[in-house]
């Protein structure tokens, strides 16, 4: 059986191999300067940093021939308009979360995550080997974009609550900052979801305009100080089990790149993708220890909340698949892949992890 790396698998449709990365290709190649619009502020340093990893590595690999200037959200284009800017070639490339664009088509969410979806490893496996990349590229093609996995936070936290949540009844009427599809499902459980930018969350929680708020995870949440005003920190963020960030490249600009530059870009994207998850996996354990030392109380969401949310999510996705062919086209194979993957993960992975975390000495 032929062995292949995940990079070759990812680039299979483009006919690229690592052999294209010869130094002559860059020495004799054109000087290319692109601009990258990020959706994220510099304060989200781990997420924003993935675009800097891409830029730095590309500079090193190509000996400075392929340069990308990275701009934070709002500098070149508003953070939530990165897809449009890449589509229209206002910028050559971008770094964003595809689920910001579910207003255009709900199917974009599969490129990031959907509630009760995949963990980070499952998402990578689906994208690089399970046909996810090909399915999503058919969708992005209609928007004149080629996309690449560009980081993952790992499973996020469920957020900060001023009062304890003891059962599903406590979700009713709860004013919670939770944007996107997660918010729509919370609404089905009786909550009142709110969409607020990161910097607006703390004051709203403080004055009681919000009862709860989700953001990312311990490392990013600690910086915004939510623990000072809402002591109950819930897990897991079932709406974001392994959210993937993405790099977007304008189709025409991509087509114009020499093969070696394309291969270099893919390598740098793959490194940025892996790097972000490793960085969060390193930073979050330290942050959560600091938070617990300051009196934060960790709670799992009650089982009835989890079960009701999962049921509401499944209902919502079936409804969407019934009216949105682009969503249905990805949802069916996505669901089949996830079911098979979960069967495997619960054998060796879950039993090893459960022993290590709860019984091991």
Residues that bind Ca ion (CB under 5 A): 156, 214
The number of helix segments (H) and strand segments (E) in the chain equals 14, 11
| Residue whose CB is less far from Ca ion, 11 or 243 | 243
Pairing of strands 244-250, 297-300: unpaired
Work out how close the CB of 157 gets to Ca ion at its nearest, in angstroms, rounded to a whole number. Answer: 8
Cα gap 332→198, rounded to integer Å: 34
Question: Are 253 and 265 contacting, i.e. CB atoms less than 8 angstroms apart?
Answer: no
Nearer to Ca ion, 298 or 340 (CB): 298
Q: Which is nearer to Ca ion, 10 or 155 (CB)?
A: 155
Name the residue nearer to Ca ion (CB basis): 81 or 156: 156
Please report how close the Cβ of residue 156 comes to Ca ion at its closest, in angstroms: 5
- Closest to Ca ion by CB, 130 vs 180, is 180
Least spacing, CB of residue 99 vs Ca ion, in Å: 10
Strands 159-161 and 192-194: unpaired
Rounded CA-CA distance 102/243 in Å is: 14
User: At closest approach, how far in Å is the CB of 193 from Ca ion?
Assistant: 12
Residue 127 C-beta: closest distance to Ca ion, Å = 20
Those residues with Cβ within 8 angstroms of residue 340's Cβ, 6 or more apart along the chain or in another chain: none
In whole angstroms, how close is the CB of 335 to Ca ion at the nearest point? 23
- 92/214 with CB nearer Ca ion: 214
Quote the least distance from Cβ 192 to Ca ion, whole Å: 18
In the complex, the smallest distance separating the C-beta of residue 280 from Ca ion, rounded to whole angstroms, is 12
If the CB atoms of residues 130 and 154 are measured against Ca ion, the closer one turns out to be 154
CA 239 to chain centroid:
11
Task: Give the count of beta carbons closer than 10 Å to the beta carbon of residue 293.
Answer: 8
Exposed, middle or buried: residue 9 (CB in 10 Å: 0-12, 13-18, 19+)? middle
CB of 331 to Ca ion, least distance (A): 22
Residue 110 CB, nearest approach to Ca ion (Å): 17
Cβ-based nearer residue to Ca ion, 94 or 180: 180
Which two three-digit tokens encode residue 83?
A: 């897809």
Nearer to Ca ion, 7 or 174 (CB): 174
Q: Which residue is nearest to Ca ion (CB)?
A: 156
Specify the residue, 211 or 214, whose C-beta has the smaller distance to Ca ion. 214
Chain-centroid distance of CA 326 in Å reads 20
Residues 6+ apart with CB under 8 A from 352: none
Burial 173-206 (b: 16+ CB within 10 A, else e): ebbbbbbbbbbbbbeebebebbebebeebbebbe
Half-sphere exposure of residue 310: CA atoms within 13 angstroms, side-chain side? 12
H or E element: which one contains 320?
helix 303-323
Give, to the nearest 10 degrees, the angle between helix 303-323 and helix 325-344. 140
Alpha-carbon distance of 197 to 220, in angstroms, equals 14
* Distance between CA atoms of residues 188 and 197, nearest Å: 22
């Amino acid at each position: 059986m032929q062995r292949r790396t995940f990079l070759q698998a990812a680039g299979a449709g483009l006919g690229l191999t690592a052999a294209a990365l010869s130094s002559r290709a860059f020495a004799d190649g054109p000087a290319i300067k692109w601009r990258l619009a990020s959706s994220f502020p510099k304060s989200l340093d781990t997420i924003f940093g993935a675009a800097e990893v891409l830029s730095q590595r590309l500079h090193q690999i190509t000996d400075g021939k392929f340069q990308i200037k990275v701009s934070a959200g709002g500098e070149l284009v508003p953070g939530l308009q990165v897809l449009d800017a890449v589509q229209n070639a206002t910028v050559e490339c971008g770094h964003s979360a595809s689920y910001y664009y579910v207003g255009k088509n709900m199917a974009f969410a599969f490129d990031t995550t959907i509630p009760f979806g995949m963990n980070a490893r499952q998402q990578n496996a689906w994208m690089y080997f399970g046909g996810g990349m090909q399915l999503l590229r058919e969708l992005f093609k209609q928007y004149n974009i080629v996309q690449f996995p560009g980081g993952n936070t790992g499973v996020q936290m469920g957020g900060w609550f001023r009062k304890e949540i003891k059962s599903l009844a406590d979700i009713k009427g709860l004013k919670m900052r939770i944007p996107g599809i997660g918010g729509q499902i919370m609404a089905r459980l009786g909550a009142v979801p709110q969409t607020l930018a990161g910097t607006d969350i703390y004051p709203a929680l403080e004055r009681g305009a919000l009862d709860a708020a989700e953001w990312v995870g311990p490392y990013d949440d600690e910086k915004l100080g939510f623990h000072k005003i809402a002591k109950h920190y819930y897990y897991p963020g079932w709406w974001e089990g392994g959210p993937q960030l993405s790099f977007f490249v304008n189709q025409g600009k991509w087509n114009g790149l020499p093969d070696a530059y394309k291969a270099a870009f893919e390598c740098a994207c793959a490194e940025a993708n892996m790097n972000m998850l490793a960085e969060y996996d390193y930073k979050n354990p330290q942050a959560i220890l600091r938070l617990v030392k300051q009196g934060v109380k960790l709670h799992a969401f009650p089982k009835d909340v989890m079960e009701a949310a999962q049921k509401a999510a499944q209902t919502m996705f079936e409804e969407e698949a019934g009216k949105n062919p682009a969503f249905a086209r990805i949802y069916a194979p996505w669901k089949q892949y996830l079911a098979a993957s979960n069967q495997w993960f619960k054998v060796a992975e879950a039993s090893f992890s459960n022993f290590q975390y709860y019984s091991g000495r």
